[in-house]
Amino acid sequence: MKKILISGYYGFDNFGDEAILGVLINHLRGNDITVLSSNPEKTGRAHNVNSLNSFNTKLIAERLPNFDILISGGGSLLQNVTSNRSLLYYCGLIMMMSIFPKKDIVIFAQGIGPVKGFLGKLIVKSALKKCKYISVRDKKSQDLLKSWGIESNLVCDPIFDLNVPTPKRTRKVGIQLRKFASLTDELFDEIVKQVALKFSDREIELICFQDSEDEGISKVFLNKLKKKNPTINANIIKNLTNKEVIERVSEYDYLIAMRFHACLLGLKYGIKTLAISYDPKVEILAQNAKIPYLVMDSKKNDYKQAFENLEKLSSFNLLNYANSQEFEWYKTGIDELVKS
């Protein structure tokens, strides 16, 4: 049995990160697992593991020598577009762990970058060179690391390994939005127009995957939609556990989503999905799965065509794509380290 420390964006009630954590923990059962979390009590209860406050750096530094393995990920941790502070945190943790002898560090199924500035790139490169195994979830990340002279293994997103219940199809349409600076009124208005036109006879749910980021923008969308069609049946769905999110999404016939893991969950259920790409990872997923997508630059979008393509999608083909994405644990190096 190994003593394993898992680091990531945990405890913030973000569906994707918490789902990845669940997949990872289930794979590591039988070991002594501790997770760094912004809400250690909640994380500990939810996953039946030990948990430390990710902001208590003094306590983490004291406990670090006790662990055999540090697993960093998944998600997009090593980037400084959203925050330089988070990049320094995750890289600093790796560098601290590397000080102690006979410790193994794993980068788990991450999307690497974008990393801005010479100093930022230097910090990430230095941290990655301390890792025994590196797995990335997209070709762009692998190519970036290769350009830095760092080898990695390409895996699909761990959510493809998530067990989901049998879908309970209804005539509902799910819409998942998140706060994002480039989300313009023009883009919003065009989506509202198409939703009101195509789905006026259906129940529409604006589902929050992270309430703090999704609820406000969902309210804006709902108000616009009600003005466009006052009789439309639309509501915001929030305060859901991960299990409840999964069950709710299983009911949808159609899904319009911004978040990467919302789109991915739709694919796992074979739901006809339209992606709104706020990040290259969403666009890459849409292209690979052959689903329609919109971009932040409203002038580049053909909204009518995108929604027509949405209706033409084959659930069978979407399920086939999702089922073809098998998560290859051996490429992460985790099993080898745990058994050694």
Dist. CA 16–CA 312, nearest whole Å: 27
Looking at residue 117, its pLDDT comes to 93
Looking at residue 163, its pLDDT comes to 85
Dist. CA 113–CA 279, nearest whole Å: 11
- Rounded to 10°, the helix 315-324/260-268 angle is 110
Ordered by start, the domain boundaries in the chain are 3-157+325-339, 172-324
Looking at residue 165, its pLDDT comes to 83
One pLDDT digit (tens) per residue for the chain, 340 residues: 999 999 999 999 999 999 999 999 999 999 999 999 999 999 999 999 999 999 999 999 999 999 999 999 988 899 988 788 999 999 999 999 999 999 999 999 999 998 999 999 999 999 999 999 999 999 989 999 999 999 999 999 999 999 888 888 889 999 999 999 888 889 999 999 999 999 999 999 999 999 999 999 999 999 999 999 999 999 999 999 999 999 999 999 999 999 999 999 999 999 999 999 998 889 989 999 999 999 998 889 999 999 999 999 999 999 999 999 999 999 999 999 999 8
What three-state secondary structure class fits 106? strand
Dist. CA 39–CA 214, nearest whole Å: 19
DSSP E strands in 84-128: the ranges are 104-110
What is the CB-side half-sphere exposure of residue 232 using CA atoms within 13 A? 27
For the four alpha carbons of 22, 27, 30 and 33, in that order, the dihedral sign comes to negative
Length of the chain equals 340
User: What are 83-113's pLDDT values in tens digits?
Assistant: 889 999 999 999 999 999 999 999 999 999 9
For the four alpha carbons of 27, 279, 177 and 182, in that order, the dihedral sign comes to positive
- What residues are paired with 199 via a beta bridge? none
Q: Which residue has the tokens 């992606």?
A: 275
Looking at residue 181, its pLDDT comes to 84
Looking at residue 168, its pLDDT comes to 83
Enter the CATH code of domain 3-157+325-339. Answer: 3.40.50.2000
pTM: 0.92
From the candidate CATH numbers 3.40.50.2000, 1.10.760.10, 3.30.450.20, 3.40.50.150, the one assigned to the domain spanning 172-324: 3.40.50.2000
Residue type, 187: L
Residue 271 CB neighbours (<10 A): 26
Looking at residue 232, its pLDDT comes to 96
Dist. CA 320–CA 290, nearest whole Å: 12
User: What are 158-187's pLDDT values in tens digits?
Assistant: 999 998 888 888 899 999 999 998 888 899
Same fold flag, 3-157+325-339 and 172-324: yes
